[in-house]
Structures are given as structure tokens and as C-alpha cells.
Amino acid sequence: MPVPEGTIPVAVGLLIAGVASYLFLKVGKEALGSDEALQPITSLWVATFALAPGVFLPVEQELARALSSRRAMGMGGKPVLRKVIALGTGLAAIVSAIILLASPALASAFFNDDWVLVVALLIAFVSYTPAHIARGVASGHGRFRAYAIVMASDGVVRIAFCLLLAVIGVKTVGPYGLAIAFAPLPGVLWVYFRGQLKTDDGPAAEWGEVTQNLGWLLVGSMFAAGLVNAGPLAATVLAEPGQEELVTRFTYGVLLARIPLFLFQAVQAALLPRLSQLAARNEIAEFRQGLARLMKVVLLVAVVGTAGAYVVGPLVIEKFYDSELSGNTLATLAFSSAIYMLALALAQAVIALRGHRLVALGWACAGITFLLVTWLNNEPLFRRVEFGLVASSVAALVAFALALRHKLSTGVVPSGGSLMDAITDMPLES
């Protein structure tokens, strides 16, 4: 079968955003002078991408599904867009209020009492509201180049501002935090003024049209995005005074370890439609064979990634970030990321088979597992968090394997909406 429409531009957008993230931390460290000075920025960066996709990715998914459905029936989607803008604005207001109420604790735990970074977190969260809505409009209308521009420009703008600040000699963390905060907006404005977010008027929309699976998607997305960013956040909270440099080094390791996961997300949009078409035709035996082949490929990538992290990971960290991490730490992080990647592949298959509730419960179990394991063990900082990451990824993998087995045994087939939800279920943002 041919590669589905939009796979290549979305993959390119993801890869550009990913490369920009690695460069952002590299330039930030060079500008600020040390891993310790960079730690509040890494905390802001990780918190932003744990929070914003967790809340707004389901909104994007539901908007894309509803617009795609209307487009297939020849109906305009502007009434749907109005509903989603109201929904997104409401969610942004609720979470912004929570951030404001928790701001003293956030400033103390994550940002070394730098209130500019608290403001930057608030602005960043609000900025991702139009970004995810724009992505939903673009994917719902099949405008995948516009989707890729919104995604890629975020990382490009961020690194461009960072380079500018470094060149003019800025040595305080606040401006670098604001570079993260405003980065999503230029790409949205670019595609908007080019008319790539235009939506035709159509029949009135009911709330049910844009909230069919929103609750389950929201629960699953928040836990999934939180889990993929849980390592650095937990390390920040658990670190003792004077361990700020360790937290930044740990963040470098997490970034390196999830390169295979990032590449998997860049190509997964080409995989799910093929499997789902088999299931939709009730070719369950072929579906199982295709899924088994996919899991073998993912497992191979996981093994290579874990071994590579152990063998060459310390050298990469030393040469690129001028820092140190042991091969054992990097291999453990890569192993947890590999299991997470396997779990994500199964979760997307379960969503395609209309298992939104089961996926939400699976990610919730994984999140609770991480909290319990990290809280209950008394190992040194790195090992404590590493054990939590491995245990939570294993919990997710087991949960989704059982869920997929259940869905296949009951003979459920994908719908157009569930397939769209699965393809756009990408909890890893950067």
C-alpha cells in the first residue's frame, strides 16, 4: 500500500522539532555557562511539554476527527471550530488558574524561585492553545504541510531566539524561558495569514460532535505526556540542594535515550492505517501478522538503542554537551524508553480499535506505578528515578497487550474517527 497522505511532511516536521530541541539545550548551556545554571530552563522545557500536549492533544485530535468527518460528507466545519475554540479557551483558563494557585510551589521546586520562569510557563501553556487548534484544523482538512510548519516552526523559532540571546550576551535565565513561551505562535500566525486555516461554514454543531472521546483521550494524554517527561521532573523534585547539575545531566540522558522513540513517532502515521485497513476488512489473521512484524521491528530498534546508549552514549554526552553520564544510566534510560515505545505502538493499535477507555486506564496505571516505585525505593537519585521509569513502562506495556488481546477477541473494527485519533496520538512533543 502507498504511504498515507501527510506521512512525509509530518515526519519531517517532527524531526526538525526534535533536532531543534537538542540544539536548544546545547546553545543554552553555552550561553549560561554551566549545567547548574541551565537547570531551571530544562525544568521549564520539560514541564511545558508534559503539560501542554497532555491537555491540548485530545482537543486537537477531536477537532481533526470532527473536521475530517464533515469534510467526507461535504459539510463545512466552522461551527465545529467555534465549539473547539470555546473548549480550548475554557481548558486553558482552568489550567492557568491552577498554575497561578500553585505558582509559589512551582517557583520553589522547579525554578530556583525565579518568578519570570513561572510567568514563562503560564505564557507557554496559553501559547499552545492556538498551536494545537491550528494543528487540528490542518490535519482535519488534510493540509499536512501546514501541520508540519506549525510543529517544526516551534523548535526553529525557539533555537533562533536562543542563538540571538547568546550572541548578544544574555546571561540570565528569564529571557531564555520567554523564548520557550512564545515559540509556538509565529508558525500559527504564518499558516493563518496564508489562509491555510480557513474553514467553510456549515450546519450547526452539537457538543457531542467534538467530545465523543474527549474525556478518555484527556486522561490518557495527560498520563502519557507526563510519563514521557517524568524522569527530569521527578529528578528535579527529589534532588537535594547542590544537585542542580545532576538534574541537567539527567535531562541530557533522557533526551539521548528517547531518540528511537522520536523516530518511531515520525513514521508511525504510515503504520497504523495499514494495520487498521486489515482490521476493518476483518482480516484478523493478517492484522495479527502485521502487528507482530511491527513489534519485531520496534523490538529490534529498542535493543539497538539500548546497546548503543550503553556503548557510545557516554561519549555523545561528553562531546555534545561537555558533560558526564555513565553507560549504565544511559542504558537504563534507553531501556525504559524502548519499553515505552513498545507500549505506545500497542496503545495506538488499541485506539484504532476504538479502545479509548482501555488506553486511558492503561496510561493511568503506568503513571501511578511510576509514582509508587519512585516514592517507595531509597536508591540514589538517578537509580531511584530510573527504576520508576522502567516499572511504569512495563506496566503500560502489559496493560495495552491485555487490552489489544481483548479488542481482537471481541471482533471490534476501526472507525474513521478512531483511526484519526490513533494516527494523531503523539504524546512526545519537543
Average pLDDT of the chain to the nearest whole number: 84
Same domain, residue pair 357 and 259: yes
Kind and range of the H or E run holding 123: helix 115-140
Same domain, residue pair 251 and 319: yes
Same domain, residue pair 188 and 282: no
Check the CA dihedral 31-36-42-43 and report its sign: negative
Same domain, residue pair 176 and 244: no
Average pLDDT over residues 186-209: 92
Same domain, residue pair 258 and 286: yes
pLDDT attached to residue 5: 57
Residue 375 pLDDT exceeds 50: yes
Q: Which candidate, 111, 118, 94, places its Cα nearest to that of 181?
A: 118
Same domain, residue pair 103 and 234: no
Last residue of a domain, one of 182, 212, 242: 212
Same domain, residue pair 93 and 146: yes
**CA–CA distance from 266 to each of 8, 40, 259, 271, 303 (Å)?**
9, 29, 11, 11, 19
**Residue 277 three-state SS:** helix
Same domain, residue pair 193 and 275: no
Q: What are the two backbone dihedrals, phi and then psi, of residue 77, each rounded to the nearest 5 degrees?
A: -115, 10
**CA–CA distance from 264 to each of 236, 260, 305, 341 (Å)?**
27, 6, 12, 8
Same domain, residue pair 109 and 171: yes
Number of domains in the chain: 2
Residue 234 pLDDT exceeds 50: yes
pLDDT attached to residue 338: 86
Last residue of a domain, one of 156, 182, 212: 212
Residue range 203-222, pLDDT digits in tens: 988 888 888 788 888 999 89
Residue type, position 78, single letter: K
Residue type, position 323, single letter: S
Same domain, residue pair 240 and 388: yes
Same domain, residue pair 295 and 242: yes
**Residue 73 three-state SS:** coil
Q: What is the residue range of 259's domain?
A: 214-430
Same domain, residue pair 206 and 259: no
pLDDT attached to residue 426: 62
Residue 269 pLDDT exceeds 90: no
Residue type, position 10, single letter: V
